[in-house]
């Protein structure tokens, strides 16, 4: 293991990625990348989530990925015992994050990048590789490649050395200065030095000998921007997530998509933004801090808060649209028009919605926490409620639990008993699926009290259903069967066709757990008939999966394979791998 440590902007990720690229061929079983950046994860880094991704990258079907961290860690160690892997763990801030994701195979190499020394890893034998700012010759080489050798030859040695000292040998700062020279071919390095000196910024101390004027350099680059690009620079800094697309950036800036795209490209060309993939942009940490300072110094707080509220509304609308693309008619506590936003994403089907969520879940959590910090409680609990089917379908437990805890706090501040009951019951299901049955029971007790007081019969039926699911996860199939039958009667009284059909599905599952395979077929058939032809084919696939399980147990392999083949077709189309894996396992018995 190598711990590549150094200050922000010194190039830890760049050099580690470059080395990994050059040496990948020496690792016959492949390479893995884990991003531990808190911005990438919305402020909450879950090592279990990283392990899940590693297991999937190594070929583990979703159906075989355990729910708990301890089981995932054991599975990863077993899976890597005979493999030679290259593993890059980026932006780690705690040694404990690393210990849970170490491969066990001889000959594997783990590279850890961090702003910290991580002494615990060094005590375990890791090599410490401190990355210091670039030496003078490397700085000259970088500047020469960017501005051209002829132009560099015209500059005096002392002037170039002064620029290198000003940048502290940090590549990100050097690139910003060089980009100014590229933009102004008639100017000299002396002009850059003079312009930076005018900013009168305090020079920061480096972690080693020397100092640099990053803020002053960024001030100079910022001052050279046209007004639309300068506005975009300030507004993007409000977002604490990892990156943004053009539509979200336009929402923050309050501009048209075309002009916003142009402003983003200006910032990219100036090396003030990075663009790791098409139409996605993010700040380097040093630049982000500077941009946020510019926003706070140059704009009224009320204007910044309005911009942030627009971004929260954009994500709230997007996640609610994604929720509806997955299940159109599930119980929701508020109408479609509660929150709306221009440029918000829409989705033609569940697959598009889940793909969007996969790319945005870290940003969603960051925005949700920003809203919670401002006590914009309605948006907070609306986001949490809409996140449930997105988290459930791909078993993103970290986001599921964090979002619902945050949403419950918002609901309690509002005194909204219905929202509290809804979120507590959904949180209970997350705990139950991870085997934390005491926590699940506690949440279900509080959910039932809140649902009873608010007097919403559909909500009461839904809470009863969640209680049945928790009992089933805890291994008490008989209690779950009674809960599902009670919930079914409640949904019938509410004239809810979908709610009734879902309870038939759950009743069938409980009967399967009790070994009553013949009796399970009738409620499963009723659920299939009621749901087929609607928009929720994912649930139809899950019902058919249980029907196939019952038929396998009864020895009807032809009927089982027919049902299970339909499951595979549905789940492949929706990229739901867990149930697809379960269906294939049944077929192959």
Note whether 89 and 36 are within 8 A (CB). yes
Residue 204 lies in a domain: yes
Our measurement of the distance from residue 270's CA atom to the centroid of its chain's CA atoms, rounded to an integer in Å, reads 28
| Spatial distance between the Cα atoms of 325 and 347, rounded to a whole number of angstroms | 6
pLDDT of the residue at 331: 85
pLDDT at 210 over 60: no
Between the alpha carbon of residue 416 and those of residues 69, 381, 412, 464, the distances in Å are: 33, 10, 6, 19
70 shares its domain with 119: yes
Q: Residue 150 above 90 pLDDT?
A: no
- Which of 158-162, 193-197, 422-426, 544-548 shows the lowest per-residue confidence on average (mean pLDDT)? 193-197
Please give the pLDDT value at position 264.
96
Mean pLDDT within 320-346: 83
**Cα–Cα distance list, 308 to 253, 332, 383, 422 (Å):** 10, 25, 15, 27
The pLDDT value recorded for residue 168 is 84
Within a domain: 319: no
For residues 273-301, average pLDDT: 90
Asked if 121 and 212 sit in the same domain, the reply is: no
Look at residue 310 and give its three-state secondary structure: helix
Distance CA 581, CA 563 (A): 14
Question: Are 15 and 82 found together in one domain?
Answer: yes
pLDDT > 70? residue 206: no
Q: 243: domain CATH number?
A: 1.10.10.10
Q: Is residue 247 part of a domain?
A: yes
The Cα angle at residue 563 between residues 561 and 567, in degrees rounded to 5: 105
Do 140 and 114 share a structural domain? no
Residue 211 pLDDT greater than 80, yes or no: no
Pair 216, 193: CB distance under 8 Å? no
Query: And the tokens for 553?
Result: 């147990």
pLDDT tens digits, residue range 105-144? 889 999 999 988 888 898 888 999 988 889 999 999 999 9
Question: Between the ranges 173-182, 244-253, 550-559, where is the mean pLDDT highest?
Answer: 244-253
The predicted structure's pLDDT at residue 10: 85
- Does residue 48 belong to any structural domain of this protein? yes
Strands 280-282 and 274-277, bridge-based pairing:
antiparallel
Q: Is 475 left (phi over 0), alpha (psi -120 to 50) or beta?
A: left
pLDDT for residue 486 is more than 90: yes
| % of the chain surpassing 90 pLDDT | 57
Q: What pLDDT is recorded for position 85?
A: 95
pLDDT at site 207: 44
Question: What is the model's pLDDT at position 579?
Answer: 74
Query: Quick one: 241 and 154 in the same domain?
Result: no
Contact 74, 65 (CB under 8 A): no
Number of domains in the chain: 3
Same domain, 148 and 88: no
For residue 204, name the pLDDT band (cuts at 50, 70, 90).
low
Task: Please determine, for residue 205, whether its predicted confidence score (pLDDT) is greater than 60.
Answer: no
Indicate the pLDDT class of residue 63, thresholds 50, 70 and 90: low
- Mean pLDDT computed over 51-74: 85
How far is 174 from 416, CA to CA, in rounded Å? 53
Indicate if 103 and 21 belong to the same structural domain. Answer: yes
**Residue 441's Cα: distance from chain center in Å?**
28
Give CA–CA dist 125/135, Å, rounded. 28
Last residue of a domain, one of 108, 130, 152: 130
β-strand pairing of 2-5 with 127-130: parallel
Q: At residue 33, what are phi and psi to the nearest 5 degrees?
A: -125, 125
- Tokens 């402003």 found at: 263
φ/ψ of residue 523, rounded to 5: -65, -35
- Torsions phi, psi of 323, nearest 5? -55, -45
Q: Per mean pLDDT, which range of 359-363, 373-377, 409-413, 464-468 is the poorest?
A: 359-363
Structure tokens that stand for 368 in this block: 């949700």
Q: Domain span at residue 235?
A: 227-299
Q: Does residue 126 share a domain with residue 82? A: yes
- Lowest-confidence region among 4-13, 341-350, 574-583: 574-583
**Rounded distance, CA 10 to CA 79, Å?**
35
Buried b (16+ CB within 10 A) or exposed e, 465-482: bbbbbbbbbbebbebbbe
pLDDT score recorded for residue 102? 92
Q: How many CA atoms lie within 13 A of 316 on its CB side?
A: 29
pLDDT at site 208:
43
Residue 576 placed within a domain: no
Residue-level pLDDT at 334: 81
In 3D space, the residue among 188, 186, 218 whose CA is nearest the CA of residue 201 turns out to be 218
The pLDDT value given to residue 398: 86
pLDDT at 347 (0 to 100): 92
Q: What is the mean pLDDT of residues 405-424?
A: 97
Does the pLDDT of residue 209 top 70, yes or no? no
pLDDT at 442: 97
Rounded to whole angstroms, the Cα distance separating 193 from 180 reads 11
- Pairing between β-strand 86-90 and β-strand 109-114 as defined by DSSP bridges: parallel
Round to whole Å and give the CA distance between 107 and 101. Answer: 16
Q: How many CB atoms lie within 10 A of CB 316?
A: 26
Contacts for 348 with CB less than 8 Å, ≥ 6 apart: 325
**147 falls within a domain:** yes
CATH number of domain containing 39: 3.40.50.300
Q: What does the pLDDT look like over 343-385, one tens digit per residue?
A: 999 999 888 998 999 889 999 999 999 999 999 999 999 999 9
Distance, CA of 156 to CA of 364 (rounded, Å): 50
Q: Give the residue-averaged pLDDT of 310-319.
A: 95
Neighbour count for residue 202 (Cβ, 10 Å): 9
Which residues, 6 or more positions from 486, have their beta carbon under 8 angstroms from its beta carbon?
Answer: 464
Residue 73 and residue 162: Cα distance in Å, rounded? Answer: 51
Return the structure tokens found at 393.
Answer: 């379908």
Q: Judge whether residue 332 has pLDDT over 60.
A: yes
For residues 34 and 62, membership in a common domain is answered with yes
Strand order in the sheet with 86-90: 31-35, 86-90, 109-114, 2-5, 127-130
* Separation of alpha carbons 374 and 388, rounded Å: 23
Domain edge (last residue) among 299, 316, 346:
299
Percentage of the chain exceeding pLDDT 70 = 95
| pLDDT tens digits, one per residue of 435-447 | 899 999 999 999 9
Grade residue 292 by pLDDT with cuts at 50, 70 and 90: very high
176 part of a folded domain: yes
Q: Quick check: is 110 in a domain? A: yes
- Looking at the structure, do residues 23 and 89 belong to the same domain, yes or no? yes
User: Of 223, 246, 274, which closes a domain?
Assistant: 223
Rounded to the nearest angstrom, the gap between the alpha carbon of residue 140 and the centroid of all alpha carbons in its chain is: 39
Of the pLDDT bands very low, low, confident and very high (cuts 50, 70, 90), residue 291 is: very high
DSSP 72-131: HHHHHHHHHTT---EEEEES---HHHHHTT---STT-EEEEEESS--HHHHHTTPEEEE-
Predicted local confidence at residue 577, as pLDDT: 67
pLDDT band at 41 (very low <50, low <70, confident <90, very high): low
Residue 187 and residue 241 in one domain:
no
pLDDT at residue 261 tops 90: yes
To the nearest 10°, report the CA torsion of 144, 23, 74, 567. Answer: 90
Residues 124 and 148 in one domain: no
pLDDT, residue 460, reads: 96
Question: What is d(CA 441, CA 21) in angstroms, rounded to the nearest whole number?
Answer: 48
* CA-to-CA dists, residue 115 to 91, 93, 159, 213, 475, angstroms: 7, 7, 31, 19, 45
pLDDT, mean over the chain: 89
- CA–CA dist 508, 545 (Å, integer): 11
């Amino acid at each position: 293991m190598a711990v590549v440590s150094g200050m922000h902007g010194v190039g830890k990720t760049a050099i580690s990625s470059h080395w990994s690229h050059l040496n990948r061929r020496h690792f016959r079983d492949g390479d893995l990348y884990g991003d531990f950046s808190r911005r990438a994860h919305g402020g909450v880094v879950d090592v279990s989530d990283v392990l899940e991704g590693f297991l999937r990258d190594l070929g583990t079907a979703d159906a075989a990925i355990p729910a708990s961290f301890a089981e995932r860690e054991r599975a990863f160690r077993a899976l890597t015992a005979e493999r030679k892997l290259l593993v890059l763990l980026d932006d780690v801030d705690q040694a404990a994050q690393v210990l849970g994701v170490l491969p066990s195979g001889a000959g594997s190499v783990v590279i850890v990048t961090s702003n910290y020394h991580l002494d615990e890893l060094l005590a375990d034998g890791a090599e410490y590789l401190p990355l210091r700012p670039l030496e003078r010759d490397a700085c000259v080489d970088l500047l020469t490649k960017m501005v051209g050798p002829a132009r560099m030859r015209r500059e005096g040695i002392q002037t170039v050395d002064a620029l290198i000292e000003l940048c502290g040998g940090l590549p990100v700062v050097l690139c910003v200065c060089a980009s100014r020279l590229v933009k102004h071919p008639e100017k000299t390095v002396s002009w850059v030095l003079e312009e930076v000196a005018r900013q009168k910024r305090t020079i920061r101390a480096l972690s080693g000998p020397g100092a640099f004027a990053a803020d002053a350099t960024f001030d100079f680059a910022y001052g050279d921007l046209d007004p639309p690009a300068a506005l975009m620079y300030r507004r993007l800094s409000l977002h604490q997530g990892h990156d943004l697309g053009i539509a979200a950036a336009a929402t923050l800036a309050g501009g048209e998509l075309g002009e916003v795209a142009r402003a983003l490209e200006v910032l990219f060309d100036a090396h003030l933004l990075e663009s790791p993939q098409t139409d996605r942009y993010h700040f380097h940490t040093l630049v982000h801090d500077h941009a946020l300072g510019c926003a706070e110094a140059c704009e009224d707080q009320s204007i910044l808060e309005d911009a942030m509220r627009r971004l929260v509304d954009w994500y709230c609308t997007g996640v609610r649209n994604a929720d509806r693309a997955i299940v159109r008619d599930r119980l929701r506590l508020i109408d479609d028009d509660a929150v709306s936003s221009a440029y918000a994403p829409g989705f033609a089907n569940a697959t598009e919605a889940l793909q969007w969520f996969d790319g945005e879940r870290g940003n969603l959590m960051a925005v949700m926490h920003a809203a919670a910090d401002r006590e914009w409680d309605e948006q907070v609990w609306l986001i949490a409620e809409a996140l449930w089917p997105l988290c459930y379908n791909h078993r993103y437990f970290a986001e599921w639990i964090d979002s619902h805890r945050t949403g419950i706090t918002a609901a309690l501040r509002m005194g909204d008993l219905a929202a509290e009951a809804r979120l507590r019951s959904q949180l209970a299901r997350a705990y139950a699926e991870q085997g934390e049955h005491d926590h699940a029971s506690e949440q279900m007790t509080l959910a039932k009290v809140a649902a009873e007081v608010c007097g919403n019969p559909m909500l009461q039926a839904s809470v009863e259903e969640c209680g049945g699911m928790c009992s089933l996860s805890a291994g008490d199939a008989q209690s779950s069967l009674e809960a599902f039958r009670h919930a079914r009667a409640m949904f019938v009284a509410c004239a809810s066709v979908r709610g009734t059909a879902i309870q038939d599905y759950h009743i069938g599952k409980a009967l399967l757990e009790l070994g009553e395979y013949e009796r399970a077929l009738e409620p499963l058939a009723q659920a299939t008939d009621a749901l087929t032809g609607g928009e929720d084919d994912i649930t139809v696939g899950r019902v058919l999966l249980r029907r196939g399980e019952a038929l396998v147990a009864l020895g009807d392999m032809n009927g089982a394979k027919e049902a299970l083949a339909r499951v595979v077709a549905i789940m492949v189309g929706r990229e739901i791998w867990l149930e697809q894996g379960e269906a294939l396992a049944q077929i192959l018995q």
